[in-house]
Amino acid sequence: MSEPVQEYTGAIDRGLEGVVTCTTSISTIEGSTLLYRGYTIEDLAAHASFEEVVYLLWYGWLPTRRELEEFSTDLHHSMALPPESFGWFHGLPTRVHPMDFLHAVIAGMTLHDPDANLVNAAATLRKSTRLAARVGTIVTAYQRVRSGQWPLQPLPDKSIAWNFLYMLKGAEPDEQEVRRFDTCLILHADHELNASAFSARVTSSTLSGIYSSVMAAIGTLKGPLHGGANEQVARMLLEIKSPDRLEAWLEAALASGEKIMGFGHRVYKEGDPRAKILKAMSREITREVGHPEMYEMSARLEELMGQRKGLICNVDFYSASVYHSMGIPIDLFTPVFATSRVAGWCAHVLEQYQNNRIYRPRGKYVGPTGEVYTPIDER
C-alpha cells in the first residue's frame, strides 16, 4: 500500500478570495476607492489622458510635459502593424470570437519581433509599447475586414482614443467623442490583481515573456465572468427592449435562476467608482443618440437588483450602454476592454520581473489513495 498523502492543513479559499499573493504598487482598491499609483480613478478620469495613465502605470509617476511628449510619440508611432500582418487579416477566419482573433494576431506578432524572447527590462518596455499601441489597431482592423473594408492606418499625430474611433468607423471623431472614449480607456486600464492580471503575472513568473503573458491575459479576459460580462449586459438590455418590460423580465429571470450580468463584485461592497463615472456618461450619451431607454432600463435595473438581491453594479454594467451608444459592435466590447487593460497587464509583467518568483500554489488532495495497478484483462 502506498504512503498516505500528507494532509494539507493550510487555509483553502475557492477563487483565492482575500488571499494576498504578491506586493504591488500599481493599483489598489480601498473600500469604494480605486487608486492608480496613489491617484483616485475619479481624479485621473477627470483630468488625465490615457497616455498619461499608461506612463503612470509603467513608470510610477505622472510624466512631465517633455516625458509625455516623448512617450506619446513613441507610443503613437508604434500603432501601425508590421507589413507582414496584413496577410493575417485576409488569411485568418473572421467568423470567430474577436478575442480569439486578437489572441491569434498577438501570437503572430511574436514571429516578427526581434525582442520576442528577451525578458530584460529594456526589451520588455519596448514590447509593452508595441502591445499597448497595437491592440486597438488589431481590433479595428478586424472589424473593417469582416465588414468587407480595408483596414485604415493610424495617424501618429493623434491619440490612441482618437485613432481607435477613426480606424473603427472610417471618419474623424469629434472632440467630445474622443474624450469620452479616452475616459473609458482610463477606467479600464488596471484593477489590482484581477483574474487577467493574475494570469499575466503567473505566466510572466515562468519567464515565458510578455507576449505569452498578454496572450494568457486575453484568454482570461474573454470569459463572461470577467471581461465578457459587458457583452452580456448589452444583449440583456436589447432583449428587455423597453423600461415597461423590465420588471416582468427580471421576475422571470430571477425565478429561473438566471445570472444577471453586470452585478456583484468580489472586492467592492459599497460601490464601484468606475460604474458611477460610466453611469453619468451613459445618461448623457444615450439621450444624445436618441436611445434614452438604454439608460432608463439600466438605472431601474440597478435599483431593483439593489432592493431584491442587495447587489451593486460593476464597471461592465454601464459600459455596455456607453459602448452601444458609441456605435461599437457588441462583440467588440471585450476587445475594447483589452485595448485598455493591456496597459495594466504590461505594468504587472514589468513589476513581476523586478522581484520574480515562480508561482507554485498547492492544492488539497481529496482523491483516493492506496490504489494498486490491475492488469487490463483483470479489470
User: From CA 225, how far away is CA 244, in angstroms rounded?
Assistant: 28
97 is catalytic: no
Cβ count within 10 A of residue 38: 12
User: From CA 315, how far away is CA 324, in angstroms rounded?
Assistant: 15
Catalytic residue chosen out of the listed positions 113, 316, 324, 348? 316
Q: What backbone torsions phi and psi does residue 58 show, to the nearest 5 degrees?
A: -85, -40
Strands 39-40 and 33-36, sheet pairing:
antiparallel
User: From CA 26, how far away is CA 35, in angstroms rounded?
Assistant: 8
Q: What backbone torsions phi and psi does residue 27 show, to the nearest 5 degrees?
A: -155, 160
- CA distances to 132, 263, 283, 300, 313 from 259, in Å: 33, 9, 25, 17, 13
316 is catalytic: yes
Catalytic residue chosen out of the listed positions 265, 272, 331, 348? 265
User: From CA 329, how far away is CA 342, in angstroms rounded?
Assistant: 20
Half-sphere exposure of 258 (CA within 13 A, CB side): 15
Task: Kindly state the helix (H) or strand (E) to which residue 1 belongs, with its residue range.
Answer: none
User: From CA 105, how far away is CA 84, in angstroms rounded?
Assistant: 11
User: From CA 124, how far away is CA 103, in angstroms rounded?
Assistant: 19
Question: How long, in residues, is the chain?
Answer: 379
134: its cell numbers: 497595437
CB-based burial label for 240 (10 Å; 0-12, 13-18, 19+): buried
308: its cell numbers: 431584491
Mind telling me the catalytic residues? Answer: 265, 316
